[in-house]
Amino acid sequence: MSTHGSFSGNPKTEWLVDANGEDSDMRLLEDFSFTDPAGRIWLAPRGAVVNGASIPRPLWSTIGSPYTDDYRRASVVHDVACDTPSVARKDADVMFFHACRAGGCSPIQARVLYAGVRIGAWTSASLPASALSRERMLFRKRLDIPVLEEQFLQGKLADISREMESLPEEAPIEQIDAIIEQHLKF
């Protein structure tokens, strides 16, 4: 196991098409899990429906879209964790950071992705629920928010990312959180 944890393998999924003809959701065909550095197992059970990384749509051009890159497996367990009422969102996001690293993301990429999901959590408290897909942190449709708000979110991520570049490669999550918290009020 890496210092950031390990996955049970690769998720086995099938694409789902909703009533509107969209195919952004997938159903797990087998159990899939991530074991974090503390030994906690984050289960994504067979039958769970996931829709990729929980990154606000305005940040896709900066971070990436839901099913791209080395954070795909991390997004599966993160989706399930965020839908589990007994799991604190912050805990799910910290797990996502470690899962991104275990999945092959570089330290800076994992930090930026972590900042993206933390901005998503912050944004969900600031925008009406109608702007969110299934009351989750991932924006699926074009938001009816002014371009200035999109630019605001992109600017927040850019500011946070610039500061994180100066951190040592294995900076603890508390240092990363301190930078994020300077820019956002949780």
pTM of the model: 0.82
The two structure tokens encoding residue 64: 């990436």
* Interval 124-169: pLDDT, tens: 766 555 544 443 444 444 444 456 667 788 888 899 999 999 999 8
Q: Going by C-beta distance under 8 Å and a sequence separation of 6 or more, which residues neighbour residue 38?
A: none
- Where do the structural domains in the chain lie, given as residue ranges? 52-183
pLDDT interval class at 76 (50, 70, 90): very high
Query: How many C-beta neighbours within 10 Å does residue 115 have?
Result: 27
> Which residue's structure tokens are 């991390």?
74
The two structure tokens encoding residue 92: 């799910």
* Interval 30-57: pLDDT, tens: 999 999 999 999 999 999 999 876 666 6
What is the reported pLDDT for 13? 93
Spatial CA neighbour of 115 closest among 68, 166, 158, 171: 158
